[in-house]
Structure 1
Amino acid sequence: MPVYAYACTACGHAFDARQSFSEPALTTCEQCGGALRKQYGAVGVTFNGSGFYRTDSRAGGAAKAPAASSGSSD
């Protein structure tokens, strides 16, 4: 289940709530009864693998990209 961050617009109380996708969003603050607002932050998503770079979408684009070498070129 995802965790959502909420903050009260009246008192500033901030907390996280674990809710399923089918549950409605919380609307009232536990402490003062004020209105809650969902907080949105950076999403921790990492795209790995082929198909996520500009050179991956072209025919032969990956072959044109310089290969990184682990050794010395002397």
Structure 2
Amino acid sequence: MPTYAYACKDCSHAFEIVQPFTDSSLTSCPECEGTLRKKFNSVGVVFKGSGFYRTDSRAANGSTVAPAPAPAAPAPAVTASAAAS
């Protein structure tokens, strides 16, 4: 469940509360019964680094695509005379 931060417009009382998504927002301050406003915080996920493409998706030689494996050699054909021996 997410944690929401509220602040009172009248008495400046600030607090956080854990609420389900289905609950409606709080409207009155528990301290003075004044009007509450919901405070918005920054996002809790931070991506750091130079990026996924440059660091994770390249082969060791610097190319963007790893070399394909060599095709397997075809099996030798068996002729009727070789099968009879």
Query: Fold match, TM over 0.5?
Result: yes
**How well do the aligned residues superpose, as a CA RMSD in angstroms?**
2.7
Cα distance in 1 for partners of 2:46, 2:14 equals: 27
For structure 2, the 5+ residue unaligned runs are: 64-85
> What's the CA shift for 1:46?
3.0
Cα distance in 2 for partners of 1:46, 1:20 equals: 24
2:22 match: 22
The structure whose Rg is larger is 2
Question: Higher relative CO (CA 8 A, sep ≥ 6), structure 1 or 2?
Answer: 1
Q: Deviations over 1:12-69 (max 9, x none)?
A: 0000010000000000000111100011121111348xxxx4x83xxxx9547xxxxx
1:13 match: 13
Give the TM-score normalised by structure 1: 0.63
Which stretches of structure 1, 4 residues or more, deviate above 3 A after TM superposition?
A: 61-64
Aligned residues: 57
Give the match's secondary structure for 2:24: coil
For structure 1, the 5+ residue unaligned runs are: 65-74
- Sequence identity percentage: 45
